[in-house]
């Protein structure tokens, strides 16, 4: 039987041409998270998922196989490539693992920062392909100015890019498949070469039936999740007094301290301190007590 407590995982930093991303919760085979507290310290998340299954992840995870979510913070000094991830439908045309994700804009996002999501009205495959070669691709993608608390849902099959100066919290399916359509004609300073593009795969990965994306905002006290899709549910919550949260048996919970710190304990066990900017994985089927040290805002993801 699993010993259940708020599990802290060691962050992993990946650097890129455009900035860096910090993997907070990962069961991806090449970069698995390692537990850094409690009786399971030193063990990897895939090991715990394999050993405890529903006891850790909840009943919904049994349908998905393996730990299904990957969580990271993205710090973009420069804009990311114009890209697309496969969906469950388009993966059969382009290869790779499906990847639906969402972004939450954190503190530290620079004034004037923007994201790109979805194609302009009337753009078809021929127009997009032509734009990838004549330098006009940016004009065919919708641009959204963003600030702290803004939320964008990016289903697999949607063309998108993160703009320079963005600092985002990302929840996604466990996948590392990205098809780059356009990289703004950059070259890697280390190699002097442009990064590889995936025009054929990227065009095949686009789901032309998706509705236009919309930008949402995290409003204090909102009753409905900010994102609720078949892969995950996501919400924000402000806590100013000690509170007990019921984590049901269907799903574990990933909690990120977006603002403020707290003490957390599961089923009356030993408290775990969570600082601002830290993430914990809470096993399914526990009563979680949260005692804020200051005004606390948590980002919550579940299956």
- The token pair at 57 is 């992840």
Quote the percentage of the chain above a pLDDT of 90: 93
Alpha carbons 286 and 277: distance in angstroms, whole number: 23
Q: Which residues contact 246 (CB under 8 A, 6 or more apart)?
A: 287, 288
Round to the nearest angstrom and report the end-to-end CA distance of the chain.
Answer: 22
Half-sphere exposure of 180 (CA within 13 A, CB side): 13
Is residue 172 within 8 Å of 80, Cβ to Cβ?
A: no
Is residue 132 within 8 Å of 199, Cβ to Cβ?
A: yes
What are the tens digits of pLDDT across the range 132-149?
999 999 999 999 999 999
pLDDT at 190: 83
For the chain, list the domains and their CATH numbers: 7-217 (2.60.120.10), 227-302 (2.60.120.10)
pLDDT at 221: 65
Question: Which residue in the list 91, 167, 180, 253 is annotated as catalytic?
Answer: 180
pTM of the model: 0.96
pLDDT at 239: 95
Q: Which residues of the chain have pLDDT under 50?
A: none
Sheet holding 19-25, edge to edge: 12-16, 19-25, 69-76, 166-173, 101-105, 150-154, 215-217
130 is catalytic: no
What are the tens digits of pLDDT across the range 26-80?
999 999 999 999 999 999 999 999 999 999 999 988 777 789 999 999 999 999 9
SS3 45: helix
By CB atoms closer than 10 A (0-12, 13-18, 19+), residue 158 is buried
Q: For residue 175, what are the CA distances in angstroms to 45, 110, 158, 216?
A: 15, 28, 15, 24
pLDDT at 224: 85
DSSP 59: G
């Amino acid at each position: 039987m699993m010993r259940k407590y708020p599990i802290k995982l060691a962050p992993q930093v990946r650097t890129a041409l455009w900035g860096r991303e910090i993997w907070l919760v990962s069961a991806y085979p090449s970069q698995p998270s390692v537990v850094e507290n409690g009786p399971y310290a030193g063990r990897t998340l895939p090991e715990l998922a394999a050993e405890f299954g529903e006891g850790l992840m909840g009943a919904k995870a049994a349908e998905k196989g393996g730990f299904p979510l990957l969580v990271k913070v993205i710090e973009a000094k420069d804009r990311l490539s114009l890209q697309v991830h496969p969906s469950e439908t388009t993966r059969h045309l382009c290869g790779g693992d499906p990847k639906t994700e969402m972004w939450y804009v954190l503190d530290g996002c620079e004034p004037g920062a923007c994201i790109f999501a979805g194609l302009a009205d009337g753009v078809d495959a021929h127009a997009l392909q032509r734009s990838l070669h004549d330098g006009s691709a940016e004009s065919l993608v919708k641009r959204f100015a963003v600030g702290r608390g803004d939320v964008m849902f990016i289903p697999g099959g949607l063309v998108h890019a993160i703009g320079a100066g963005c600092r985002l919290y990302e929840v996604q399916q466990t996948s590392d498949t990205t098809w780059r359509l356009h990289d703004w004609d950059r070259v890697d300073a280390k190699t002097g070469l442009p990064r590889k593009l995936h025009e054929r795969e990227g065009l095949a990965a686009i789901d032309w039936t998706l509705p236009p994306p919309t930008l949402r905002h995290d409003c204090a006290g909102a009753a409905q999740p900010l994102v609720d899709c078949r892969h995950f549910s996501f919400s924000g919550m402000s806590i100013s007094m000690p509170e007990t949260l019921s984590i049901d048996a269907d799903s574990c919970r990933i909690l990120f301290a977006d603002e403020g710190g707290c003490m957390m304990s599961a089923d009356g066990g030993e408290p775990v301190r969570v600082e601002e900017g830290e993430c914990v994985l809470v096993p399914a089927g526990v009563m979680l007590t949260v005692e804020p040290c200051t005004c606390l805002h948590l980002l919550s993801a579940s299956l």
